[in-house]
């Protein structure tokens, strides 16, 4: 992969590459103008003022959307009851620990064999700093948060087709991509090729900024030396005493970086949702739903599979059966119904709402995703490779390796996220038996961490299309579908309204579930109080 | 679901639009590998499935939901059984479902070409106790695709 040199690349090709790297932020702006940016305008605890005069609300589903509604509506004076299919609250807000067992569709059962204190968050695992609603609920409910490292400069970027399959440190690719691009731009600027694009005064500023941004030497080249090593790291780190003198490391040439494709992963930490700081609950994501359970768990009836939702001018009636045994249907009625059952399941329920709302629910399939947790006998990524938290990216089907963002330097075992995959590979993973998924995740991961072969001792795999109570990971909205259906999925349809991640513009984030629920109950409350 | 990649729009098909998903960042990144070689017989490379025979497609993709013997599954919701499913009497039915999706069934039109759709439709109609002998052709599959592909916005 060497030899070709950047000289062989046209300026246009180069700018296209840079454009591609910048693409996501450009796309982001574009999306922002389309009103698609997942921003939360949560302004503090909801205030439902006015007397609901004993009105009752039946809440279906005890995920975060349902739990938030139960907590706030009850506080506002409503009678609430929640029906939940599972035997626990939380829905996708879920953590697997040693001793848990999980049976997916098809009857495939897994026993989680992690050591005490270790866990996998098979669904949500990180909270952006601007997801104000969920962060506020954590604060109010006493859920302790710790930092989640998204970007780790010492983790890897890996392509099975570049650098002989050898994983590259993020800091090397990051520093050398910036340095290489800065050098090229500086060169073009000095050769007056940018004259039509920048004014004369700005040219000097541009050069200065490229130098600082890319760690260029005084002659505007990016090369082996203390400047570049100050970004990418050294062959021998600066040290004390007689061995103090640093030995710089040799940068990877820009053409090699470009051809490797690894630059694609650099954008990751620049995306709004993945920018520092992110958080995770100490002890597992389900600490959030457990905290809600302390407040409103008594309002939840577990093990209830809702099969029908009927309404007339006066009330809503839900029919449910025992989730495990089926048996005789039971009915429960209320003045209103807030339904947070995922659209994938709701589309199969006998539901009394208008045709437009039906169409909206039926139009929303769910994305594929899988996660695999792997327990290692020791924290080899820390001990051998100085990787503390964060994510390694790979073009192999496991897509990511997530290192635990907690328990650093522990001398015991650790649990890695061994695969986190979407798209076709996620369907393919899901089509395997759970054991086979774990095996594959180990096989792929071992190409990055050879220690896997000796150190990984057990694992657990969740393919979201086999999760019995959701059939996928998150609602697959498209712009087209939003245009056609979004308003209709948000409406108050007689005495029924919907909430959940799928009724938000923050798909696949808990913030979407919570803000959709707050929005729904505000509108419902207005209706109830104002008649 | 989202990605800093040149062929982004193509890749972002159904997933990506919804994207900005929590999950998503990874998705797009993972999908971007350009080389078209499957790393493993059971895993495709890129946004399109690379399995070609009906059997490989069923086992590599469909059985995730419809289960290894096509028996379907029931939880809070359900996946219909393909075994002995009378709707398969129509050769167009399974092909239409694969291309366009319905309710919880995602549309796979963007991830399979016409040959693949025909292959898997014919496979399920001749396995799991189904014995239909008429075959759907790739040309017939093509006609089932939405005029303006739903995935490309
Ligand atoms: C792999 C993955 C990664 C994710 N990563 C993140 C992340 O890092 N950060 C983040 O904030 N978000 C993330 N999310 C998204 C987040 O999990 C969801 O947006 C959120 O948890 C959805 O909450 P909800 O209340 O809308 O739905 P759910 O949590 O799905 O709740 C729905 C409830 O309805 C119940 N139910 C279903 N059918 C029935 C029935 N017939 N009768 C009775 N009850 C029923 C279910 O059992 C469930 O409890 C991720 C999701 C996945 C799958």
Contact check, Cβ <8 Å, A273/B59: no
Tokens of A245: 């003198």
Nearest protein CA to atom 53 of ligand 1, as residue: A473
Backbone angles phi, psi at A331, to 5 degrees: -120, 145
A149 lines ligand 1 (CB under 6 A): no
Backbone angles phi, psi at A120, to 5 degrees: -120, 135
A528 lines ligand 1 (CB under 6 A): no
CATH class, domain A3-33+170-274, is mainly alpha
CA distance A157 to A419: 14
Rg (CA), chain A: 26
The model carries a pTM of: 0.90
CA distance A365 to B107: 8
Query: Which residues are CB-contacts of A384 (< 8 A; sequence separation ≥ 6)?
Result: A451
- Note the CATH architecture for domain B8-144: Orthogonal Bundle (1.10)
- Domain borders along chain B are 8-144
Mean pLDDT score of chain A: 93
Sign of CA dihedral A404, A409, A414, A418: positive
pLDDT at A346: 98
Kindly tell me if the per-residue pLDDT of B62 is higher than 60. yes
CA distance A26 to A270: 12
A269 lines ligand 1 (CB under 6 A): no
pLDDT at A93: 99
Comparing A38 with A444, which gets the higher pLDDT? Answer: A444
CA distance A252 to A250: 7
Interface probe for A, chosen from B56, B82, B104, B113 (most Cβ of A below 10 Å), is B104
A459 lines ligand 1 (CB under 6 A): no
pLDDT at A13: 41
Closest residue on chain B to A346 (Cα)? B77
Mean pLDDT value across residues B1-11: 30
Contact check, Cβ <8 Å, B6/A20: yes
Nearest protein CA to atom 7 of ligand 1, as residue: A124
| Cα of B53 to nearest chain A Cα, Å | 15
Mean pLDDT lowest for which of A293-297, A354-358, B42-46, B61-65? B42-46
Comparing B67 with A35, which gets the higher pLDDT? Answer: B67
| Cα of B2 to nearest chain A Cα, Å | 8
CA distance A217 to A220: 5
**How far, in whole angstroms, is CA A341 from its chain's centroid?**
20
ipTM of this predicted complex?
Answer: 0.90
DSSP classification of residue A126 = -
Kindly tell me if the per-residue pLDDT of B8 is higher than 90. no
Distance (angstroms) between ligand 1 centre and the Cα of A91 equals 5
pLDDT at B11: 30
Q: Which fold has domain A99-125+367-466?
A: Polyamine Oxidase; Chain A, domain 2 (3.90.660)
Give the other-Cβ count within 10 Å of A479's Cβ: 14
Task: Quote the percentage of chain A above a pLDDT of 70.
Answer: 92
Kindly tell me if the per-residue pLDDT of A74 is higher than 60. yes
Each residue's pLDDT tens digit, A2-15: 333 333 444 334 33
Mean pLDDT value across residues A428-441: 98
Mean pLDDT value across residues A137-161: 98
CA distance A99 to A171: 38
Kindly tell me if the per-residue pLDDT of A498 is higher than 90. yes
Q: Where are the alpha helices (DSSP H) in A191-298?
A: 200-214, 226-232, 254-260, 287-296
Mean pLDDT lowest for which of A18-32, A182-196, B48-62, B102-116? A18-32
CA distance B106 to A244: 60
Identify the band that residue B103 occupies on the pLDDT scale cut at 50, 70 and 90: very high
CA distance A234 to A226: 8
Tokens of A210: 């490229």
Closest CB from B14, B63, B76 relative to A476:
B14
Task: Quote the percentage of chain B above a pLDDT of 90.
Answer: 67
For chain B positions 48-67, those within 8 Å of chain A (CB to CB) are 48-49, 59-65, 67
pLDDT at A531: 80
Sign of CA dihedral B6, B11, B17, B19: negative
pLDDT at A3: 35
Chain B residues touching A442 at Cβ < 8 A: none
Kindly tell me if the per-residue pLDDT of A29 is higher than 60. no
Each residue's pLDDT tens digit, A101-123: 999 999 999 999 999 999 999 99
Query: Which residues are CB-contacts of A191 (< 8 A; sequence separation ≥ 6)?
Result: none
pLDDT at A407: 97
Which of A39, A46, A36 shows the shortest CA–CA distance to A72? Answer: A46
Identify whether the C-beta of residue A102 lies closer than 8 Å to the C-beta of residue A324: no
Chain B residues touching A425 at Cβ < 8 A: 30, 43-44
Contact check, Cβ <8 Å, B104/A347: yes
Chain A residues touching B4 at Cβ < 8 A: 20-24, 264, 266-267
Kindly tell me if the per-residue pLDDT of A37 is higher than 90. no
Query: Which residues are CB-contacts of B130 (< 8 A; sequence separation ≥ 6)?
Result: B82, B83, B84, B85, B88, B124
- Domain borders along chain A are 3-33+170-274, 56-86+287-365+478-529, 99-125+367-466
Kindly tell me if the per-residue pLDDT of A140 is higher than 50. yes
**How far, in whole angstroms, is CA A332 from its chain's centroid?**
36
Q: Domain A56-86+287-365+478-529, CATH 3.40.50.1360 — does that match?
A: no
Kindly tell me if the per-residue pLDDT of A512 is higher than 70. yes
């Amino acid at each position: 992969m060497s030899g070709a040199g950047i000289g062989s690349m046209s300026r246009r090709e180069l700018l296209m590459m840079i454009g591609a790297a910048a693409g996501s932020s450009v796309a982001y702006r574009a999306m922002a103008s389309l009103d698609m940016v997942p921003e939360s305008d949560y302004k503090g605890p909801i205030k439902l003022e006015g007397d609901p005069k004993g009105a009752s609300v039946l809440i279906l589903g005890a995920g975060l959307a349902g739990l938030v509604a139960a907590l706030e509506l009850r506080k506002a004076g409503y009678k609430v009851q929640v029906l939940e299919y599972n035997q626990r609250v939380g829905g996708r807000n879920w953590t697997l620990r040693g001793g848990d067992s999980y049976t997916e569709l098809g009857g495939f059962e897994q026993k989680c064999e992690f050591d005490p204190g270790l866990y996998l968050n098979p669904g949500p695992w990180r909270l952006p700093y601007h997801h104000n609603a969920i962060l506020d609920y954590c604060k109010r409910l006493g859920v302790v948060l710790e930092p989640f490292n998204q970007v780790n400069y010492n983790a890897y970027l890996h392509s099975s087709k570049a650098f002989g399959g050898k994983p590259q440190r993020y800091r090397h690719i990051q520093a050398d991509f910036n340095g290489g691009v800065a050098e090229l731009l500086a060169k073009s600027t000095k050769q007056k090729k940018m004259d039509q694009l920048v004014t004369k005064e700005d040219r000097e500023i541009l050069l200065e900024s490229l130098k600082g941004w890319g760690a260029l030497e005084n002659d505007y080249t990016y090369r082996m030396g203390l400047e570049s090593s100050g970004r990418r790291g050294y062959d021998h780190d600066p040290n004390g005493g007689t061995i103090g003198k640093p030995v710089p490391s040799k940068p990877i040439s820009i053409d090699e970086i470009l051809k490797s494709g690894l630059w694609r992963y650099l954008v990751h930490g620049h995306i709004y949702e993945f920018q520092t700081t992110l958080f995770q609950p100490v002890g597992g994501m389900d600490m959030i739903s457990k905290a809600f359970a302390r407040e409103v768990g008594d309002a939840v009836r577990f093990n209830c599979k809702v099969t029908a939702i009927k309404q007339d001018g006066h009330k809503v009636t839900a029919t449910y059966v025992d989730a495990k045994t089926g048996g005789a249907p039971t009915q429960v009625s209320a003045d209103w119904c807030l339904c947070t059952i995922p659209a994938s399941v709701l589309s199969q329920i006998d539901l009394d709402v208008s045709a437009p709302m039906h169409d909206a629910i039926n139009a929303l399939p769910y994305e594929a995703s899988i996660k695999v947790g792997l327990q290692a006998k020791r924290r080899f990524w820390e001990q051998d490779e100085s990787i503390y938290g964060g994510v390694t990216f790979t073009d192999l089907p496991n897509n990511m390796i997530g290192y635990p963002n907690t328990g650093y330097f522990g001398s015991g075992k650790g649990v890695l996220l061994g695969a986190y995959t979407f798209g076709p590979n996620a369907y393919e993973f899901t089509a395997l038996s759970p054991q086979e998924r774990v095996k594959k995740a180990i096989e792929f991961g071992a190409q990055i961490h050879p220690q896997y072969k000796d150190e990984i001792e057990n694992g657990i795999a969740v393919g979201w299309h086999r999760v019995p109570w959701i059939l996928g990971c998150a609602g697959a909205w498209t712009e087209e579908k939003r245009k056609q259906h979004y308003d209709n999925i948000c409406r108050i349809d007689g005495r029924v309204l919907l909430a959940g991640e799928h009724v938000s513009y923050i798909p696949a984030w808990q913030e979407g579930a919570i803000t959709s629920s707050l929005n729904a109950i505000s509108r419902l409350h207005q209706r109830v109080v104002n008649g | 679901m989202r990605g800093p990649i040149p062929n982004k729009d193509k890749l972002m098909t159904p997933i990506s639009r919804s994207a900005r998903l929590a999950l998503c960042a990874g998705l797009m990144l993972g999908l971007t590998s350009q080389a078209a070689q499957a790393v493993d017989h059971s895993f495709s490379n890129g946004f399109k499935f690379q399995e070609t025979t009906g059997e490989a497609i069923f086992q590599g993709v469909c059985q995730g939901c419809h289960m290894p013997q096509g028996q379907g599954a029931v939880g809070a919701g359900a996946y219909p059984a393909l075994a002995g499913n009378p709707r398969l009497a129509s050769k167009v039915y399974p092909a239409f479902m694969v291309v366009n999706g319905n309710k919880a069934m995602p549309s796979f039109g963007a991830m399979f070409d016409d040959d693949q759709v025909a292959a898997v439709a014919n496979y399920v109609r001749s396995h799991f106790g189904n014995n239909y002998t008429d075959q759907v052709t790739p040309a017939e599959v093509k006609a089932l695709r939405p005029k303006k592909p739903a995935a490309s916005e």
